[in-house]
Amino acid sequence: GGWENSQYFTLLTADHPRRTILINNIIHVIKKYNFDGVDLDWEYPVTGGSVEGTPADRRNYVHLMRELRNRLREIEEQTNRQTGYLISFAGAAGHWVLKPGYDLVQLVKYADFVNVMSYDYFGAWQSKWGAFTGPPAPLYFATPKGIKYGKAGPNLFVIIEVKIKLDLPRFSGRMNVHATMKYYSCQIKATNKLNMGVPFYGRYWHNVGDAADPNDEMWRTATPSDGLTKFEGGDVKWRQLHQKYDVKRAKFHQVAKSPFIWLPENKTFVGFENPESLKYKVDYIIENDLGGVMVWAIDFDDDELTMLKTVTEKGELCIRNGHPKGMAYKCSPINEQRWWTYDDGEELAGMCGKSAPLYDGYYPVCDPDDPGHACCGKFGYCGSGPEFCSCPECVDYGADPMLILKEPTKPSQAKITWYTSDAPDGKRGRCGRQIPPIDGVIPTCNPDDENAHCCSNGGYCGNSKDHCECVGCVDFSKTRDFVYKPLEWWTYAENPANVGKLKEFDKLCG
């Protein structure tokens, strides 16, 4: 397998006769070398490989896995083999590759375990996305505000600087090992089949500039040598790291649980894995009852096997019985998406709550599996941190994904008669007779919105006494069938010259 061979998998799995040829060759190699099984390294089905695949790859990968398992079982019976042959496969780290390309639920029916390639989240890729520094495998979400991550390139991630309404952060929280392992766990519901991939290497950048956050030295931007997309950098094996860089200058990012070296004198940044970061990952594997560890690559270690000994020194990792203790992750109760992403448009990305535009007929929530955007803040945007997760109006879907099902999940009335948060200034958050109508109806406030169900006599939606209890105020949560009647007199907003006059009188007088 491998990233540069993805197109051959598409060809060889396209139909049953071709899959049979591939399976026969796999079995020939297993028998010839007396192997215990096979690891399939398709990088990647459908999208993300050096050559893009086809939508049929997702289905054909399952066919290949099922047919391979059936053939191996036949051989086991024919040869009276006491232990079954093993099947494993390499799994992508990127959500944008996993979702379209891997039917994980079906694949693990036939595979014994998955080697998750939970690394290469950051690198000096030869594209515009290689500009952004970071560790190759941060354990936890720690990206600074003001950066947006998406999909592209061999590492399957892109980074886009954006600035949205209210200057709220828009970046993916999936660029870390925890988010990847949680996604797999919640999909297959069998954590003991998951091996976390760890890198015995680092990645470096040259021509690196100032930190994106002055309080966080790890996140920086490199300048392309050609002025476009050619970034100077590469990878460095653990066994070479001490020879090439002054490791004594390394710092440890306490949030990401990753080491890095910043050399301002030659504008070089190095992100890598070391024994300290590996210990955190081994503890994580044990605490979350994952199956084990996959190393890329064991020959990158030094002669003293420093990295490998760090992985194996904790006996508890190796003596577990392999039976799952129970799900340690809080998983989403739904399979479909109910949140706005950058793919839906920059203006809609991250909008949430009862004031936001509906997503497929639902009130949009926040992605509970994205630590960067799991909370809906008071201003109706998804994000992270206290301003999004801890305020009285905030909703933390990451801490409690079941809140996604809290009623009402859809509007309680058939017709939307209120302006949503994507409306322009002068309409957004406004209500009453002085505001332009919606399809001929005087705009109301959403009766389902706990924070904005009342219309003040000044024409603003809210939930304070000034919005709900004043003369002329309307509480739509209590009077859901309330309909504004047209005024029979001129208001200042309509025509200052006619203030005080009756509209009917004007009609009679011509």
CB-based contact 124:205 (threshold 8 Å): yes
Is residue 161 very low, low, confident or very high in pLDDT (cuts 50, 70, 90)? very low
- Residue 446, in any domain of the structure: yes
Block residue for tokens 């200042």: 492
CA distance 395 to 382: 9
> Could you say which of 375, 393, 409 is where a domain stops?
409
Find, among 207, 11, 40, 8, the residue nearest to 107 by Cα. Answer: 40
φ and ψ of 139, to 5 deg: -70, -40
Tens-digit pLDDT profile for residues 412-463: 999 999 999 999 999 999 999 989 999 999 999 999 999 999 999 999 999 9
In a domain, 201, yes or no: no
* CB atoms inside a 10 Å sphere around CB 187: 18
The H-assigned helical ranges of 190-331 are 238-244, 275-287, 306-312, 316-319
Contacts by residues 486-489 (CB-CB < 8 Å, ≥ 24 positions apart) = 486/433, 487/433
Looking at residue 467, what is its pLDDT? 97
Which pLDDT score is estimated for 497?
62
Instruction: Clarify whether residues 355 and 446 are in a common domain.
Output: no
% the chain with pLDDT above 70: 88
For the record, the structure tokens of 247 come out as 């490791």
500 and 458, same domain (yes or no): yes
Beta strand pairing status for 216-222 and 147-150?
A: unpaired
Q: What's the pLDDT score for residue 157?
A: 33
pLDDT for position 148: 40
Rounded Cα distance, 180 and 198, in Å:
13
> pTM surpassing 0.95?
no
Structural domain contains residue 248: no
Q: Are residues 394 and 485 in the same domain?
A: no
HSE toward the beta carbon, residue 252, CA cutoff 13 A: 12
Pick the last residue of a domain from 388, 409, 430: 409
* The token pair that represents 185 in the structure block: 């766990």
The DSSP H or E segment spanning 194 is strand 194-199
Q: Between β-strands 454-455 and 37-40, what pairing exists: parallel, antiparallel or unpaired?
A: unpaired
Assess if residue 373 is contained within a domain: yes
**Between the CA of residue 423 and those of 210, 365, 386, 438, what are the distances in Å?**
37, 19, 27, 11
Domain end: 409, 433, 459, which one? 409
Q: What local confidence, expressed as pLDDT, does residue 487 receive? A: 66
| Alpha-carbon torsion (287, 291, 297, 300), positive or negative | positive
Between residues 314 and 270, the one the model is more confident about: 270
**53 within 8 A of 5, measured Cβ to Cβ:** no
CA–CA separation, 179 vs 77, rounded Å? Answer: 40
* pLDDT at 154 > cutoff 60: no
Backbone angles phi, psi at 149, to 5 degrees: -110, 145
Regarding whether 457 and 403 lie in a shared domain, the answer is no
As beta bridge partners, residue 40 has 89
**Domain count of the fold of the chain:** 2
Q: Where are the beta strands (DSSP E) in 129-170?
A: 147-150, 158-161
Same domain as 495, residue 481: yes
Rg of the chain's alpha carbons, rounded to an integer?
Answer: 28
Co-location of 389 and 431 in the same domain = no
Same domain, 498 and 446: yes
Confidence of residue 163 (pLDDT cuts 50, 70, 90): very low
418 within a domain of the structure (yes/no): yes
In a domain, 149, yes or no: no
Question: DSSP string of 164-192?
Answer: -GGG-----S-SSHHHHHHHHHHHHS-GG
Q: Please indicate, yes or no, whether residues 480 and 403 belong to a single structural domain of this protein.
A: no
Q: How far apart are CA 395 and CA 376, in angstroms?
A: 5
Does 381 map to a domain? yes
Residue-averaged pLDDT of the chain: 89
Predicted confidence (pLDDT) at residue 121 exceeds the cutoff of 90: yes
- Residue 19 confidence (pLDDT): 98
324-369 pLDDT tens trace = 567 889 999 999 999 999 888 889 999 999 999 999 999 999 999 9
Whether 58 shows a pLDDT value over 90: the answer reads yes
Confirm whether 118 is domain-assigned: no
Residues 6+ apart with CB under 8 A from 423: none
Looking at the structure, tell me whether residues 417 and 401 fall in a common domain. no
Is 401 in the same domain as 437? no
Cβ burial, residue 503 (10 Å; 0-12/13-18/19+):
middle
Let me know: does 145 contact 169? Beta carbons within 8 Å: yes
Tell me: the pLDDT tens digits for 224-258? 988 888 899 999 999 999 999 999 999 999 999 99
Instruction: Give residue 509's domain range.
Output: 411-510
The span from the CA of 256 to the CA of 179, in Å, is 12
Whether the per-residue pLDDT at 501 is higher than 80: the answer is no
Q: Are residues 439 and 510 in the same domain?
A: yes
Task: Say yes or no: 506 and 421 in one domain.
Answer: yes
Rounded to whole angstroms, how far apart are CA atoms 150 and 175?
Answer: 10
Report whether pLDDT(133) > 60: yes
Residue range 467-480, pLDDT digits in tens: 999 999 999 999 99
pLDDT greater than 80 at residue 151: no
